Amino acid sequence: MMKTHFFLLLLLLFPLLLTFAQENLAPNQFEHLIPDPPRRSLAPENPEAPPRQYRELSLGMPLDELKSALINDSLFLFRGDRDVSFLPIREETLIETTGLSFIRRAYFQLVDGIVYIMSFSLDTRIMDHYSVFTSFIKKYGEPVTLNPAEAIWESDDTRVSIERPLTIKYIDKTIFNRLLEESRTNDRQELLRREEFLADF
């Protein structure tokens, strides 16, 4: 009979004991946990500005200097004018050439004889996205835009991106934005001409 009363008493007191433990012991349990180590960023305190140049090739370079630099660079198999195309729609020039080693192909877009886009497709058999990405962070800091398709670094006049599967692209923002605005203006004018034509019926 004594045992039965003892167990009944325990059953009645158990909720009270549990509440006491939660209120008085729970806050102290976190004092003994070891905190996670802080995440160490690869970015430097004073990162460099995004580059406008790769080796001797740079944004803003005239066509003749670009061709000369490609001929003298052992990393490219530039074949001269055979690799040069003219795009009459916007009077642009496109140079497409084969690369050696880590670079599979390289593309250069020029308008008014000036380079405003350089694009280098890397060979993913011998170079990986993570190595390029971490190398950029160590020099240029964290990207301003990061998504599954690309990582972007920007300054006032330059945009550099790493695009998947593995392409590094340099863009002269001043020239690119001017061409973009010209294209929008032409589209608006074309739409206006279309509406004027339809209004004549």
CA distance 6 to 84: 97
Domain range for 119 is 53-173
Domain count, the chain: 1
Q: Is residue 97, in this structure, part of any structural domain at all?
A: yes
- Report the Cα–Cα distance between both ends of the chain, in Å, rounded: 107
147 pLDDT more than 60:
yes
Tens of pLDDT, residues 9-67: 555 555 655 565 555 554 555 455 666 555 567 778 888 999 999 999 999 999 999 99
Rounded mean pLDDT of 91-117? 93
Task: Say if 88 falls within a structural domain.
Answer: yes
Q: Is residue 43 part of a domain?
A: no
* Residue 31: inside a domain: no
Domain membership of residue 101 (yes or no) is: yes
- What is the structure's pLDDT at 117? 97
CA angle 100, 101, 105 (to 5 degrees): 50
Residue 45: per-residue pLDDT: 83
* pTM of the predicted structure, to 2 decimals: 0.73
What is the chain's mean pLDDT, rounded? 83
C-beta neighbour count of 123 within 10 angstroms: 14
Look at residue 99 in the predicted model and tell me its pLDDT.
92
Q: Indicate the range of 43-57, 81-95, 141-155 predicted with least confidence.
A: 81-95
| Most confident region among 34-43, 82-91, 116-125, 174-183 by mean pLDDT | 116-125
Residue 61 counted as domain residue: yes
Structural domain includes residue 7 = no
Of 6 and 93, more confident = 93
Residues of the chain above pLDDT 90, percent:
59
Backbone angles phi, psi at 129, to 5 degrees: -60, -45
Q: Is residue 179 part of a domain?
A: no
Give the model's confidence band at 188: pLDDT under 50 very low, under 70 low, under 90 confident, else very high. confident
